[in-house]
Structure 1
């Protein structure tokens, strides 16, 4: 999951782009801004109920696509960014203004936001963020190559799982189950620095192999991803 910074605290978003209202409430609480205010679950059942329904109607989406709860380490209440802004407004004028500014920069793709987060992070966290960003670049390059070489539908997931099996020891669903993580977890957000590096290396090697051999289609490209990740795992002496 991606993490924003609100009142100096991380606020996660999940793979569906929903924002953690739980993290927002914790950030406001730490800054003494939310005294007497409802936590996300109570707010959603009471004061926020009408607005959540309104957002769903306007977007023609069911509630489960704009508001969700999950358990586990990365669990909590997640909601569409419009709902997140409404919740921030309910909690505090100060929090509302800061969240508005952060989301304006986030939605516009302001890369300096990530740089500011890195500046405030501990050295170990800053190193992880650097690896995560590098991994995003490698992932985007591989995805573009896969699309250009005829990969479609579940073929993208098959290619990703071919890499995960060598680096993490199983497909995404298997790793999430083994670690007790929600199925929607972005595994890259729970990888350590070494795993991020190996995943990025695998994706770059797979991209090059597919292009040089001009491999096409779901199966051929998934095989290349498997071959690349296996080679990287052997090189790093990894036994998932």
Structure 2
């Protein structure tokens, strides 16, 4: 084989590997810092004896998780979660997921490891995160306008939640209540659960990844209005912040409903 052929083969191998990484990210469900062990198991061929429940029951695995808990200074329930229903399964901290992937299949372990280091590099260079999001959304058929609305929304969402934290919203339930207070005037009672039902989304799906450009802009504006009002009025406490979120969202919902009356809200 000539040097040129070897070089071309090497390039093809790198291209194929990068493609596998991208496809793996799309196929494996993630929730915050957790990765679906169930999806990794399916990726490796769903061998019953290697299912997450069996692997997690191994003494060696238990020892690793115990050591990770001590290192992270957390209890096990922060590193392992079981999700029920559609899109459910066993979710684990990324380091546990990496160990499991290596146990399942050597190449899968390498792929997951590469994805992990990709995230580390993105933390050093945030532009890489934007590039990855844009490429992933383009692959899903999203337009440039939608992608801009989604990425802008991520920034506004962070500003909104930071504001809530500064004004006395402390518990995960408190943040959930404030988020639902934004959603309910627009989508109906039930907030996130209602949206998932209407859009037929599993629990692991990101709601805003399944909104239209108009929906994203509407929710962003409602959260921005609520944030400005909470700051201007110096509102404090979960219940009062929730009420202000609801009031702000009602104002936005009323305007949207009126302007979209002939064609439907969303």
Larger radius of gyration: 2
1:201, distance to aligned residue in structure 2 (A): 1.7
1:69, distance to aligned residue in structure 2 (A): 1.7
Alignment of 1:60-209 (within 5 A): 60-107=73-120, 108-109=122-123, 110-120=126-136, 121-124=139-142, 130-148=148-166, 150-154=167-171, 156-171=175-190, 175=194, 188=207, 191-193=210-212, 194-209=214-229
Partner of 2:36: 20
Greater fraction helix: 2
User: Would you say the 8 A contact 2:150–2:209 is kept in 1?
Assistant: no
1:126, distance to aligned residue in structure 2 (A): 7.6
Relative to structure 1, the CA distance from residue 22 to residue 119 in structure 2 (aligned partners, 3 Å threshold; closer, same or farther) is: same
What TM-score results when the alignment is normalised by the length of structure 2?
A: 0.67
CA distance in 1, matches of 2:87, 2:42: 14
Relative to structure 1, the CA distance from residue 230 to residue 36 in structure 2 (aligned partners, 3 Å threshold; closer, same or farther) is: closer
Partner of 1:42: 54
CA distance in 2, matches of 1:147, 1:196: 22
Gaps of 5+ in 1: none
1:79, distance to aligned residue in structure 2 (A): 0.6
User: Would you say the 8 A contact 1:6–1:24 is kept in 2?
Assistant: no
CA distance in 2, matches of 1:165, 1:36: 42
1:236, distance to aligned residue in structure 2 (A): 2.4
CA distance in 2, matches of 1:102, 1:19: 12
The range that moved more, 161-170 or 114-123, is 114-123
Relative to structure 1, the CA distance from residue 67 to residue 6 in structure 2 (aligned partners, 3 Å threshold; closer, same or farther) is: farther
1:217, distance to aligned residue in structure 2 (A): 1.3
Partner of 2:23: 8
Across the two proteins, how many residue pairs are aligned to each other?
A: 228
The range that moved more, 42-51 or 89-98, is 42-51
User: Would you say the 8 A contact 2:41–2:47 is kept in 1?
Assistant: no
User: Would you say the 8 A contact 1:162–1:222 is kept in 2?
Assistant: yes
SS at match of 1:170: coil
Relative to structure 1, the CA distance from residue 42 to residue 167 in structure 2 (aligned partners, 3 Å threshold; closer, same or farther) is: farther
The RMSD of aligned alpha carbons is 3.7
What TM-score results when the alignment is normalised by the length of structure 1?
A: 0.73
CA distance in 1, matches of 2:92, 2:147: 24
Relative to structure 1, the CA distance from residue 25 to residue 117 in structure 2 (aligned partners, 3 Å threshold; closer, same or farther) is: farther
Gaps of 5+ in 2: 1-19, 258-263
CA distance in 2, matches of 1:23, 1:126: 30
Partner of 1:222: 242
